[in-house]
Amino acid sequence: MPSLKSLRIRINSVKSTQKITSAMKMVAAAKLRRSQSQAEAARPYAKRMGQMMSAIAAGAASNPNAPELLVGTGKDKVHLLVAVTADRGLAGAFNSNIGRAVRLKARELQAQGKMVKILAVGRKGHDYFRREMNDLIVGHKNFVGKKTIEFTDAEAIADNIVTMFREGQFDICTLVFNRFMSVMTQTVTESPLIPAATPTANDNAPAADYEVEPDDGTLLDRLLPRNLAVQIYSALLENSAGFYASQMTAMDNATRNAGEMIKKLSLNYNRARQANITSELIEIISGAEAV
């Protein structure tokens, strides 16, 4: 049985850990409210932008002069997976879920004879892919030291993707991120960036016929890169809200587990102390009887 001193040290250590996890839970809860409101505010614009680009892509599919950013190159040999994770951990399986999803997607594509490249957004994702699939990484971006994610951050990532596409480094680009559903649920989501997703039979949005002035090329040259930035920015906000929700849940579980461990250690401490007192009483009584 451990000594009383070692048990006291262990109890104090767990109590200190409990204070830290409790404080991290409250901080995550405060940041979650702001991140959730930002993510929910960005959804309507990003959704409508995606629907508009889908409708334009469906209408331009038969046009040989349609921009490749809209309809793709016509090939699917090289796939770029943009994996969005957080810069920090202590959030349960939040980051590892993205890592596993991208790894399975990459293996599935490679089994079909495709070439896979990974653009890691977030420090944790970059660390994961560097261990698992270092040869597939073609770039990485993180936001360490930034208090909030801004639209300019998404624009920088979008510009990098557009540059890679125009240089012929990939044919299809897919965005993988955690979509915030609730405090307890974050869903791994795959969203096509290049080419734009075409409407399906399940879409509720009505078909639209857009009239473009002065011409299609001028508008699409400005609109297509911005659409990429909007979709990436929305994914970053969803990911941020999901991270704080996961961290709050993980820290709440850790705080409760620490409380249960303190109870068990305190019980063991009291039993050990009682055993020592009983042993000393027996020695005193035995010595008195011997005299």
Say which CATH number the domain at 90 has. 3.40.1380.10
- Is 25 domain-assigned? no
129 Cβ neighbours under 8 A, 6+ residues apart: 83, 99, 102, 118, 120, 136, 137
Gap between the Cα atoms of 104 and 127, Å rounded: 17
Residues 58 and 157 in one domain: yes
Rounded to 5°, angle at Cα 178 from 173 and 179: 100
Residues 167 and 269 in one domain: no
- Is 110 domain-assigned? yes
- Tell me which H or E stretch contains 84: strand 78-84
In the numeric block, which tokens belong to residue 48? 């409508």
- Is 41 domain-assigned? yes
Task: Report residue 202's pLDDT band, with 50, 70 and 90 as the boundaries.
Answer: very low
Residues 265 and 244 in one domain: no
Residues 219 and 258 in one domain: no
pTM, entire model: 0.83
Gap between the Cα atoms of 116 and 105, Å rounded: 9
Residues 271 and 158 in one domain: no
Gap between the Cα atoms of 126 and 248, Å rounded: 23
Residues 11 and 111 in one domain: no
Residues 171 and 267 in one domain: no
Residues 84 and 117 in one domain: yes
Residues 122, 87 contacting (CB under 8 angstroms): yes
- Is 26 domain-assigned? no
Model pLDDT, residue 148: 84
DSSP state of 291: -
- Is 291 domain-assigned? no
Number of domains in the chain: 2
Gap between the Cα atoms of 267 and 136, Å rounded: 52
Q: Residue 228 above 60 pLDDT?
A: yes
Mean pLDDT of the chain: 86
| Ramachandran sector of residue 113 (left: φ over 0; alpha: ψ -120 to 50; beta: rest) | left
pLDDT tens per residue across span 156-179: 999 999 999 989 999 999 999 999
Give the domain extent around 266: 4-20+251-286
In the numeric block, which tokens belong to residue 209? 């016929």
Reduce the DSSP state of residue 205 to 3 states and report it: coil
Q: How far is CA 256 from the centre of its chain?
A: 24
- Is 101 domain-assigned? yes
Q: Residue 212 above 90 pLDDT?
A: no
Q: Domain with 262 in it: what CATH number?
A: 1.10.287.80
